[in-house]
Chain A
């Protein structure tokens, strides 16, 4: 599995200009707020259109400004967990999860949804609405919904930022478990280096819309590429 991203996008005074390549790893996009991390995820997911560049996952071209290819978000096989989780408030837990598999037959959909409920320890909650479950349970519903149609990669936009510390630690363990079970590349956005180091195999450091450094957490910590990265970690 290989993720190749080379993008340029200008919005007002901000320009995102990045290029990176990943294998099947858990990678973190790390940097300050406004550095372009979440924007990168939106561009990859097809929720925004790059000015130019290329996005490829497993040799499938999602976007290529030269050939004019631009797959809509529906055709990019990506799981996306939003910062707000974006659970549909008018649907139950089960309906939220089932919604993630629009192309399956009803029976097959229900079987897989029940499997996901088991896998994500959500049994007994299927008829509850999002406002009737805890923060940790909401996280697990969002993951189950994003993964039910077996995406080729999972993208997470600071999903744990609103959680208290014990729950955040639990969710990090949960995320590592998800990675083991599904074996797909995971892109995780955070501005917390401790979080980045504890879960990732690779860190991509963002600096005002550009890539400052790419490396393992230990590499980045021990050999920061420049003054900016060094200050970011201190």
Chain B
């Protein structure tokens, strides 16, 4: 395997894995809050988190530049204090994948958490268990199929992320060229045999992930 292809594959796996870990850490609590807690602005929050699912990835990328770019309102603060900017680094690819794939976890996990029998949750409260203990020992175990499906879907989406990543991380060979970006470069440069190879690899990987996700979602809904 050519070293540039191997690099892109490893980078894609690294970016997708790290963003998926971040999605698990933040997405499950967000899904729990949206499913279980009744608060003002709940549906607005759901809409905000879900927007990247329907927005063109370039628009999501644009927003991320406005927020995290060197002159963005968070990016500027980071740059002033550290002299470092996330732009055009592989961290930017992680951020882009995270934001674009997070809605898949929130939507799937929220539906699974909402489908847990309310009586079981109430039973846990009457047995003296706190909200946290009930979430950990009753809700999440019973919603685990949805959470696993959400994790697999998020990983697959992160692997395939292109538009927002290109806007934020750019296309720097050997630094930020994940598989989808490398395929774009190879096709533009007329290197069709390498592009074919990567396209097939990415298609097979994504197909396998979708198959796994479907197996889990079918059993929940």
> A and B from one assembly?
yes
Residues of B within 8 A of A20 (CB): none
Is there an interface contact between A149 and B127, defined as CB atoms closer than 8 Å? yes
Within A6-52, which residues are at the interface with B (CB < 8 Å)? 42, 45-47
Contact B137 A86 (CB under 8 A): no
> Which residues between 50 and 98 of chain A lie within 8 Å of chain B, taking CB atoms?
72-74, 76, 78-80, 82, 84, 86, 88-90
Residues of chain B within 8 A (CB-CB) of A76 are: 126
State the CA gap A79–B128 with chains docked (Å): 10
B78 within 8 A of A: no
Identify the closest chain A residue to B138 (Cβ). A88
Q: Could you tell me if B129 and A102 are in contact, using CB atoms closer than 8 angstroms?
A: yes
A109 to chain B, nearest CB (A): 12
Measured CB to CB, the closest approach of chain A to B172, in angstroms, equals 47
Q: Of B120, B125, B137, B141, which is within 8 A of A73 by CB?
A: B125
Give the interface centre of A45, A84, A86 by most chain B CB atoms within 10 Å: A86
B residues near A86, Cβ cutoff 8 Å: 117, 119-120, 122-123
Chain B residues with CB under 8 A of A45: 122, 126
B203 proximal to A (CB < 8 A): no
- B129 touching A74 by the CB < 8 A rule? yes
Given the contacts A90-B141, A102-B133, A84 and B119 also touching, CB distance less than 8 Å: yes
Closest to B141 in A: A90
CB contacts between A and B, total, < 8 Å: 58
Nearest CB on A from B119, distance (A): 4
Q: Are A82 and B141 in contact (CB under 8 A)?
A: no
Q: Is A202 an interface residue (CB 8 A)?
A: no
Evaluate contact between B127 and A145: CB separation under 8 angstroms: yes
Given the interface pairs A84-B119, A86-B117, the reply to whether A102 lies near B128 with Cβ below 8 Å is yes
Is the C-beta of B80 less than 8 angstroms from some C-beta in chain A?
no
> Chain A's nearest CB lies how many Å from the CB of B5?
43
A91 to chain B, nearest CB (A): 9
Contact B125 A74, beta carbon cutoff 8 Å? yes
CB distance from B141 to the nearest CB of A (A): 5
Instruction: Determine whether the beta carbon of A102 is less than 8 Å from that of B127.
Output: yes
Is B142 on the interface with A (CB-CB < 8 A)? yes
A103 CB within 8 Å of chain B: yes
- A102-144 to B contact mask, C-beta < 8 Å, 1/0: 1100000000000000000000000000000000000000000
| Chain B residues whose CB sits within 8 angstroms of the CB of A78 once the complex forms | 126
Question: Is A193 in the interface zone, CB < 8 Å from B?
Answer: no
Does residue A3 face the partner (Cβ distance < 8 Å to B)? no
Asked if B119 contacts A89 (CB within 8 A), the reply is no
Question: Is A100 interfacial (CB-CB < 8 Å)?
Answer: yes
A133-163 to B contact mask, C-beta < 8 Å, 1/0: 0000000000001100100000000000000
Cross-chain pairs A/B with CB under 8 angstroms, 19 sampled: A47-B122, A47-B125, A47-B126, A73-B125, A74-B125, A74-B128, A74-B130, A78-B126, A80-B126, A86-B119, A86-B123, A88-B138, A90-B141, A99-B124, A99-B129, A99-B137, A101-B128, A102-B127, A149-B128
State the A residues within 8 Å of B (CB): 42, 45-47, 72-74, 76, 78-80, 82, 84, 86, 88-90, 99-103, 145-146, 149
A-B contact sample (10 more), CB < 8 A, given A45-B126, A76-B126, A103-B128: A45-B122, A46-B126, A73-B122, A73-B126, A74-B130, A79-B126, A80-B126, A86-B117, A88-B123, A99-B124
